[in-house]
Structure 1
Amino acid sequence: MASLTQTRILFIAALSFVSLAGTANSSAPQFYVEGEVYCEVCRTDFINKFSELMPGAKVKLECKGEGEGNITYSIEGETNEKGLYNLAVEGDHEDEECEITLVKSSRPDCDEVPDEGFAVTPNSRITLTQHNGVHGITRHANPLAFAKKEFAPPCAEFLKQIAVDSDDD
């Protein structure tokens, strides 16, 4: 009988150890990075009434440590039917620079990566640490946009209304 009791005690101890090991592993910070990708039809470098959210666009989150090319974490994602993405990020990246970049457009008519104006480097930097006073696990990235190859016709009038000069006038 004593050996059956000892076996049960060992079994319970082993089960407790496995449970604690799982808890310690899951305590590593995990974040969710949310953002949106849209098609910029007026090539204004900001969201406006003609901007269209883009389902199926691909984005990438990369975190870099010190030194050139030192990528410490990378994950890709895709926007849902509403043009929104949600990336699950593991670990705390306190001493790293993390940013979201565009990877691939889902629309052949809107697949240019802007390289002018405010979008010289179209990315969104994001802080992924619990050691900076920001509470919660969700981080919101700035919107990113692909641009149409051609300036959409209704944009000229829109730009006049908001007093922005257009190259097509």
Structure 2
Amino acid sequence: MAGPKPTSAALVALFILSALAAPAHGLDRFVVQGRVYCDTCRFGFETKATTYIAGAKVRVECRDRATGQLTYGIAGVTDATGTYRIPVEEERPDEICEAILISSPQPGCTELEKGRERASILLTSNSGISSPTRYANSLGFIKDTPLPVCTQLSQLYEIEA
């Protein structure tokens, strides 16, 4: 004679308990996302003439808040739209993390733009952000020679060229 058959309530309870006891894979996973641009007018910000760089290298780095020592780093590359998406597998709550420009494959636009070469990001779920995607400010390189259209844009943006 066989033992008692498990009831559906017991099976449901067993399923819930096993789900709670299992490690929460993916819960602490983040994606750092941003864009890399070429400042074609050398204005220091994105304009109508801005182009986005495919194949630019970006790195996410985290440093210990107290010592400044590098604790984590992972690299990524931009797609055809100049967008990078870099996965980070775990939380970094006690660290200062940034997306940092590494290099541009675009000839004539390889100089790092001061103040636009890195962007701070929060990599903790205790930040009030419900999405696992962490959006970084755009990162930029400066074109060697401004485009001809930049003279007109400087008037539009009221910038002395």
Structure 1 and Structure 2 fold alike (TM over 0.5): yes
Q: TM-score if structure 1 supplies the norm length?
A: 0.78
Look up the SS of the partner of 1:36 in the other structure.
strand
1:143 aligned onto 2:143? no
Q: What is the CA-CA distance between 1:66 and the residue it aligns to?
A: 3.0
User: Is 2:78 the counterpart of 1:93?
Assistant: no
- Work out whether 1:133 is the aligned partner of 2:133: no
State the identity %.
35
For residue 38 of structure 2, what is the aligned residue in structure 1? 39
Letter in 1 for 2:43: T
TM-score when normalising by structure 2: 0.82
8 Å contact kept, 1:36–1:79: yes
C-alpha separation between the residues in 2 aligned to 1:70 and 1:91? 18
2:73 counterpart of 1:70: no
CA distance, structure 1, for counterparts of residue 156 and residue 43 of structure 2: 13
Stretches of structure 1 that go unaligned for 5 or more consecutive residues are 1-18
Deviation of the 1:134 alpha carbon = 1.3
Say which SS state the counterpart of residue 156 (structure 1) adopts: helix
Letter in 1 for 2:93: E
Cα-to-partner distance string for 1:13-50 (whole Å, 9 max, x where unaligned): xxxxxx98xx4262561101111101110011111110
Structure 2, unpaired ranges of 5+: 1-17
- 1:13 is aligned to none
Question: Residue by residue, what CA displacement relative to the aligned partner does 1:31-79 show, whole Å, maximum 9, x if unpaired?
Answer: 0111110111001111111000110000011011134441111000000
Paired AA for residue 112 in structure 1 = E
Q: Contact 1:28–1:90 (CA<8 Å) still a contact in 2? A: no
Query: Whole-Å Cα distance in 2 between the matches of residues 79 and 49 of structure 1?
Result: 20
Matches of 2:74 and 2:125, distance apart in 1? 20
State the AA in 1 paired with 2:25: S
* Mapped partners of 1:111, 1:130: distance in 2: 35
Aligned pairs, how many?
143
Distance 1:145 1:125 in 2: 14
The DSSP-based 3-state class of the residue aligned with 1:106 is coil
CA distance in 1, matches of 2:67, 2:111: 27
**CA drift at 1:162:** 1.8
For 1:29 and 1:71, the matched residues in 2 are separated by 20
Query: Counting helix residues as a fraction of each chain, which structure ranks higher?
Result: 1
1:92-111 alignment to 2 at 5 Å?
A: 92-111=91-110
In 2: Cα distance, 1:84 partner to 1:100 partner: 12
- Aligned AA (2:42): R
